[in-house]
Amino acid sequence: DVKVTQSSRYLVKRTGEKVFLECVQDMDHENMFWYRQDPGLGLRLIYFSYDVKMKEKGDIPEGYSVSREKKERFSLILESASTNQTSMYLCASSRGPAKNIQYFGAGTRLSVL
Amino acid sequence: KQEVTQIPAALSVPEGENLVLNCSFTDSAIYNLQWFRQDPGKGLTSLLLIQSSQREQTSGRLNASLDKSSGRSTLYIAASQPGDSATYLCAVGPMGGGSNYKLTFGKGTLLTVNP
């Protein structure tokens, strides 16, 4: 089975802190994605990566950056966390062409106080 | 810009009932469509993926259909069970399927199956 692991299920941070959300997949997938999910807004794509060291902006990249130094790991970075970044963050990965099925992690619920 | 709408937003049915969830999209130039399930506080689990050239896909008690020309997909659940209670999301992928492939998600239908 494909496994996508997000390092934390719950995280509480202070405004202005630098926050790292980590995601690891164990199936040698080329593509990895970061989404946030908010009530009434659904899932929105923040960033995605289709290869090591490659990244593409999604629909809402402002206030976020990403890092993909190794194929299996995709990190989402909040340079200076703000309260409007309180959300559920979901990581996903897929094999080969990005059009294939995406497999999701369990999510990280981030609260910024 | 692609928009995906799921109706109804919530549905409550008695156990054993057959049901249909609806998904509509505004741009018919899609590569594929996926149905996902999400349990409360959890990530998404892929249920079915339909390529744009296909009409339907089946997995167990689930059947998903796609009518690209009318911009609609349905997820049919047969003989519903309390364990089917979850939020169901559909997502469409744009034509091309290359590195610019990004899913557009609907907001989901919250299904409750009552024992």
Interface of A with B in 32-51 (CB under 8 A): 40-43, 45, 48, 50
Nearest-CA residue of chain A relative to B89?
A42
Strand-pair partners of A92: A33, A104
Nearest-CA residue of chain B relative to A89?
B43
Cα–Cα separations (whole angstroms), residue A11 to A64, A102, A104: 16, 24, 18
Cβ–Cβ below 8 Å for A42 and B106 = yes
Chain A closest CA to B113's CA: distance in Å? 22
Quick: pLDDT tens for A30-50. 899 999 999 889 899 999 998
More confident residue, A13 or B99: A13
Report the length, in residues, of chain B.
115
Cβ–Cβ below 8 Å for A107 and B100 = no
- B83 three-class SS: helix
- Looking at residue B77, its pLDDT comes to 97
Rounded-to-integer distance, Cα B14 and Cα A89, Å:
33
The string over A44-54, giving b where at least 16 C-beta atoms fall within 10 Å of a residue's C-beta and e elsewhere, is: ebbbbbbeeee
Inform me whether the C-beta atom of residue B97 falls under 8 Å from chain A C-beta atoms: yes
Q: Which of A90, A99, A102 sits opposite B46 (nearest CB)?
A: A102
Rounded-to-integer distance, Cα A79 and Cα A19, Å:
7
DSSP characters for B8-42? -SEEEEETT--EEEEEEES---EEEEEEEEE-TTS
Q: Which of B49, B101, B105 sits opposite A98 (nearest CB)?
A: B101
Running DSSP on this structure, what letter comes out for residue B82? G
**Contact list, B91 vs chain A (CB under 8 Å):** 43
Cβ–Cβ below 8 Å for A90 and B93 = no
Nearest-CA residue of chain B relative to A43?
B105
The answer to whether A31 and A98 are in contact (CB under 8 A) is yes
Cα–Cα separations (whole angstroms), residue B93 to A23, A69, B2, B82: 23, 27, 9, 30
The residue written with tokens 């966390």 in the block is A81
- Give pLDDT tens digits along chain B (115 positions): 889 999 999 999 999 999 999 999 999 988 889 999 999 988 999 999 998 899 999 999 999 999 999 999 999 999 999 999 999 999 998 876 555 567 899 999 999 999 9
Residue spans of beta strands (DSSP E) within chain A: 4-6, 10-13, 19-25, 31-38, 42-49, 56-57, 64-70, 73-78, 87-94, 103-104, 108-112
**Contact list, A32 vs chain B (CB under 8 Å):** none
Cβ–Cβ below 8 Å for A43 and B89 = yes
Chain-wide mean pLDDT for chain A?
92
